[in-house]
Amino acid sequence: MATTPSRARVAVAVLFAINGLLPAAWIARLAEIQTDAGLDDAVLGVVLSMGAVGGLTLGLLAGPLAARWGSGRVAVVGFLLMAPVTTLIAFESTAVALGITLFWIFGFDAVMDAAMNAHSIRVEKAYGRSILNSFHGWWSLGTVAGSSLAAVSAALGLALGSYLIVLAAVLMAAALIAWRWLLPGPDPETHLEPVGASDMAVVDDTDGEPAPQVGTDPRPWWRGAPGRRAALLGAFIFLAVMIEDIPARWSSIYLTDLGATGGVVSLGLVAFTVGMTLGRFTADRIVDALGPARVVAWGMAASAVVLGAALVVGGVVPYLVASLIVGFGVAPLFPAAINAAAHVPGLRPATAIAVVSWLSRAGFLVAPVAVGLIAESQGVAWGVAVTVVAALLLVPLSRVVRRPRVRAQDPA
């Protein structure tokens, strides 16, 4: 069956959805896993950190693997290596075994994540308009579906092992079916338009300043303008992770400090997740109309003002409203960074995307530690306020996600 852009879009959406669904389908039953393995909280924390170590160790392999085999194939194979091993979680009774399993799972999750994002850029190019945000929306829906399946399976008394085996089999079948609709052939060396040596130059999408021409700088990429742009993208994604991670992890603790009880405590995460999901399914049209840099700058400015005001006021309702707005504002950040990485002159798109994805996982390690230290010494509100600082810093840094384009140079 011939592949078309519309079929490729469906296939990539499936990959994003199952990538979000499978981890959520067992993480929501983590307490059961902890009890079965006989782990205390401290040991569980160390075991869970092995997942992050796996992602940081294996994540950068996505670039060279995609260059050799193609991003679509690497994404599917990454999932096929991850899914069956996930079922072992239900049968392991020692911290060492569980830690090794999580290292493997999240190591290949990182490979799949970078590869499917690289392939999504190819599909977006075939469409000729922004669709990357919607793919991340499907990932968000996948996490919601996975968490819901975990809750239902636990309520029905389904054994964790049987539940994960059936789920992994179904999702692996979905991945194999999606594989047939992915774009064929190797990934491109660059997503930038061809640049003539004498009459064309890469320029920014708004300010018209010349950017380095592809292949004209004899220095290694990390010593020239591509290296500087990659470094700025690294700072961008690190701050974006702060804004995405802090409300998700700390909202319930902050609301408890405000006196919230019962189900209200969880509403901060719910509001943030709803806002982010809505943002990812609506951001593509906004990005096409305004450009990614303006969308990021305005979204971060609004997020900083609203969340800062909510923290000063100190009420439950203002914080819930702020969480909804911050979730909406943060939605296009990671897709914008991925798109910008795919257009760094002199860098293979899959490699640059793998680096950005890798840096995001490093940020998820640092963010909770930083906020925890601040919260311990100054209070949870000051810890959450790190989000405000990060959002303000992203306003000027939004320039790094501007789209490059090509125009003819004036004759000399």
Ramachandran area for residue 188 (φ above 0: left; ψ -120 to 50: alpha; else beta): beta
Average of per-residue pLDDT values in the chain: 84
408, pLDDT greater than 70: no
> Are β-strands 200-204 and 210-211 bridged in parallel, bridged antiparallel, or unpaired?
antiparallel
Has residue 189 been placed in a domain?
Answer: no
Predicted confidence (pLDDT) per residue in 92-133, tens digit: 888 999 999 999 999 999 999 999 999 999 999 888 888 999
pLDDT reported for residue 194:
54
Does residue 133 sit within a domain? yes
More confident residue, 194 or 66: 66
Q: Is residue 188 part of a domain?
A: no
* Number of domains within the chain: 2
Which of the four pLDDT bands, split at 50, 70 and 90, describes residue 202?
very low
What domain range is 299 assigned to?
Answer: 201-408
* Cβ pair 111, 61 in contact under 8 A: yes
The answer to the question of residue 186 being in a domain is no
**Position 29 confidence tier, pLDDT thresholds 50, 70, 90:** confident
pLDDT confidence band for 36 (50 / 70 / 90): confident
Q: Residue 374: what pLDDT? A: 84
> Which one has a higher pLDDT value, 107 or 269?
107
Shared domain for 223 and 329, answered yes or no, is yes
Q: Are residues 137 and 211 in the same domain?
A: no
* Same domain assignment for residues 143 and 243: no
Same domain, 129 and 260: no
Q: Which of 125, 146, 179 is at the close of a domain?
A: 179
pLDDT of residue 359: 83
Statement to judge: residues 91 and 230 lie in one domain: no
Q: Are residues 173 and 263 in the same domain?
A: no
Residue 191 lies in a domain: no
Query: Same domain, yes or no, for 263 and 358?
Result: yes
Residue 258 sits in the same domain as residue 350: yes
Of 31-40, 236-245, 349-358, 362-371, the poorest mean pLDDT is in: 362-371
User: Which of 221-225, 343-347, 369-373 bottoms out in mean pLDDT, i.e. has the lowest?
Assistant: 221-225
Torsion sign (Cα): 40, 81, 142, 170: negative
Return the pLDDT at 349: 86
Determine the Cα angle at 383 with ends 270 and 293, to 5°. Answer: 70
Look at residue 2 in the predicted model and tell me its pLDDT. Answer: 65
Looking at the domain assignment, is residue 302 inside a domain? Answer: yes
Q: In the beta sheet, which residues pair with residue 407?
A: 201
Whether 107 and 212 map to the same domain: the answer is no
CA distances, 56 to each of 18, 24, 107, 338, 350 (Å): 21, 20, 7, 17, 16
DSSP string, 180-239: TTSPPSPPPS-SSPP--TTTEEEEESSS--EEPPTT---S-GGGSHHHHHHHHHHHHHHH
Asked whether residue 159 falls in the same domain as residue 55, the answer is: yes
Domain final position from 179, 214, 246: 179
- 69 pLDDT exceeds 80? yes
Instruction: Note whether 294 and 377 are same-domain residues.
Output: yes
pLDDT number for residue 71: 93
Same domain, 111 and 249: no
CATH code of the domain covering residue 111 = 1.20.1250.20
Residue 411 scores a pLDDT above 50: no
The answer to whether position 310 is within a domain reads yes
In a domain, 192, yes or no: no
How many whole angstroms separate alpha carbon 279 and alpha carbon 276?
Answer: 5
